[in-house]
Structure 1
């Protein structure tokens, strides 16, 4: 059947309408699922305006000390900015350079497919940057289209974070896999206010009145502290190992930089620099002092929004297995001992997340899956080492003994560990080269992977037949090709997390445990 010109035009219109629909799956920028921390990449908070609609951003690159997460080693392929939909016009004049060299692909303004209606991003891609790019200058030139439409300033272009003024840009920095997307905020500093005219010389004061003239005291200083703290809910399966000094320093650097930058932007004077004052097992504390309560209060809307960002320095938006049972709190207030009872200050904010283990459809058999139903358990932290062949990495579970919830039950009386099964993507069978089995006090044995039926998503470590003595401190390792991440291989949605269930010799008891990098 031949279509008329009208029919063809109608179909084209419908196709355009369909392509423009946005799913709203991810309501907040960067409108996708990705890992925001840790990362080596960050934009400097200060943008340089060089005129003619050109704005230059400085790339800061520094991998956190001791970080083995893939995002600390990733490249930088693209930068996306959260921008106003009004800037999405036909054929705008947009250019970008890196250290003065035009980018391989011109910038583009696109609708965010999985964002809410109207969500729009400015995309700079094929950047080809990496860990040696510290200090790189990424410049964007904004211009109008031939019809005089478009955005030419950051104030027009960027959607500022909640509570921030126009001109503050949010940017996400993506690696080639689109797995890592650390966020940055940047803007052109406001010019300093004009100097006030010199005051008129005061009238002479009679000497007789000098002794009785009161001198107004300076306003009281405002001491403010920002906290990241883990609160024990009373049902913690495994106690948190405690923040390391490097973790405290990394989190404190972010908080100090954020507060200092915002204070400069709003004109609040800091008289005692913000710094890390305490690093405890379950608390990171950063404190500083503003000239007055009135000046400190200028940051109220900022810290209200930023508290959730600081919380996610620990949770990354999802709770790893080793935080199960804890509530992660980021709070701002006075100088106190715990976030449960902070003294009043000129700033106040809090954001919290109660961490629980994700529920998954695993294992694919009928057995007792409750954690701690047998004496055998997997610790909540995965470790890594080189795999048995070149180009592989081994991700290892550590087995430990626990007191069963019901020691007198059949499961509670289990005396041997028969086998283990992992919740893994069986479409990636070729990506796992070996399964490592190492009883306590024994040597690591690497064997070929054994899988369940297609669609069961079950990778097996069998046979084990470990006694309690062999299980305490034993290891079970998955050796993956380096072109496959743990996220891609393990099922579930929690970042860098895998599930394992441990069968006793009756096969009736198979408690499930979760472990994260």
Structure 2
């Protein structure tokens, strides 16, 4: 009997101990972000959220911080306090400053997360106190939790759709928290006009009615482009040259109608700004097709002598910003020329400047039938150009060694054929599957001029838009030394 009592007491004690961790965890860290860190810092997400092309977009703001140890923190990741029901039922796709980031959002449930909660994490941002403010983080929600009301755990005292977020530095020691999710307030209706007072007696014929005013013209949209940097000194000449370039190249090609052309509105050593007035919202869409294309931005910076290809720009960073008033969301792009650091495509240190060598690909991609009804051949045509500096080592190059294309890392199985100059070729993929390359081409300038050889990729089951990372397919052409890799883009004609 005594042994039975001891056994029963022991079992009760074990059951009590088994129930303790969850309770203890909730007592230790009951509040988001469910970890020990300094919850004050220089960043917050703007309270208002934009809905753009199916994405919820949040702007990173710089907020007063004082002299706390986290006030100069970098920004590695953003976490959202979410409902646990979304973790296995919702796919989240992110865009950062209009580009797909290297890491897509992931779901976690830290040890001290309360019941019913999960954490949505977007890591690998690589931003800092200079580049983070004004950056735009956009999330597309597919699945059960396809709205912020369903995704976010409601903060105490708030309504559904409001999200608690935390922003972490690389060491995870700083985690400033803020709340976002409020829609932008609607435009107030025009004030109502008072009715005319009744005529006074004695009765008299009413005065003739005034003709109705002409209909209001469609609302115009301001467009401003800003370059910000603290690493080099900008001038009024740079501002004027920027306006001239945008007017003569981008506006002409975009089919946007401007009521006022771009002109310099601000020129300081750290910032230049040009502004114009577009006729309406459709014109901002047309203009954004070029002004928000990162390849076009790089060509513009190249023309102004502000790209990373210039030695004077090494070790600098520059923020490019396009604002459209209330007609369209802000677009931000960061050019980072600081070393060391992750390189953009083609992800190596080489001269990416267009026309660095005599080789390029025609900007129009040709379409040919594939080997089956489900496949299509997409062909890039090689051509020659005049190098921007024929006396440089890159300019003297006489041989095209390899071509690389920036592609999505889940498309390897869709490539069912590859030819170069009419010959079957073996493709090479990098370890991440983001770069598709053809090596040992050994095409000379004379060979390209004489034959205009094509690189044809046969895709089965997917389109070219699903193959390339960007809307205009990016490529890089290497010489044998691999120190010259002029970039370019091409698209369907």
TM-score normalised over the length of structure 1: 0.43
Give TM-score, length-normalised by structure 2.
Answer: 0.44
